[in-house]
Structure 1
Amino acid sequence: MPTELLERITHDPAVMGGRPCIRGMRVTVGTMLGLLAAGHPVEEVLELYPYLERDDVMAALSYAAWRVEEVELPLKAS
């Protein structure tokens, strides 16, 4: 994922319980994905959240794509 997009996604335990958010705001990546998955076009999402930029939406999509590719391996018991 391009670094400039990744920098738009923040994690802060004091904001939305530490869930990934857009630029430290109270808009989560999950909210963005939910709106897009429900069929709302990017332009409409930007109208609903006028303080967001198109790159914020693209960052949420890129972050989600990156996270789905991660593989979690179980830890072996000691």
Structure 2
Amino acid sequence: MANMAEQQLLTRIVVNPKMMVGKPVIKGTRLTIEYILGLFAHGATAAEILEEYEGLTYEDLQACFLFASKSLESTLFMPLAMEAA
């Protein structure tokens, strides 16, 4: 059941090589996943983002996080700084 909900959320994300240089965007917008996640990283709240971008939904924001987490599942990630042991 959860997988079906995930698949439904992911349908909100599209990739079109002719739009935004092929970066994943929220369907029906030119808002990239990268841009939305950057807003959160810089302290914006979901309420602020939804207020700023009319037509965007909470589910669109959830889809951004889900897309990012799925994208990182099979990626080797190196931290920007290594901690000394």
For the aligned pair, the TM-score class normalised by the smaller chain equals 0.7 to 0.9
Q: How many residues align?
A: 72
Conserved 8 A contact 1:15-1:25? no
Q: Identity over the aligned pairs, expressed in percent? A: 36
65, 68, 81: which one aligns with 1:61: 65
Unaligned runs of 5+ in 2: 77-85
Unaligned runs of 5+ in 1: 73-78
Report the counterpart of residue 81 of structure 2 in structure 1: none
Moved over 2 A (4+): none
TM-score (norm 2): 0.78
TM-score (norm 1): 0.85
12, 34, 44: which one aligns with 1:8: 12
Question: Partners in 2 of 1:14 and 1:22 — Cα distance?
Answer: 15
47, 52, 57: which one aligns with 2:51: 47
Deviation at 1:6, TM superposition (A): 0.7
The amino acid across from 2:17 in the alignment is P
Question: Partners in 1 of 2:75 and 2:39 — Cα distance?
Answer: 26
The amino acid across from 1:33 in the alignment is L
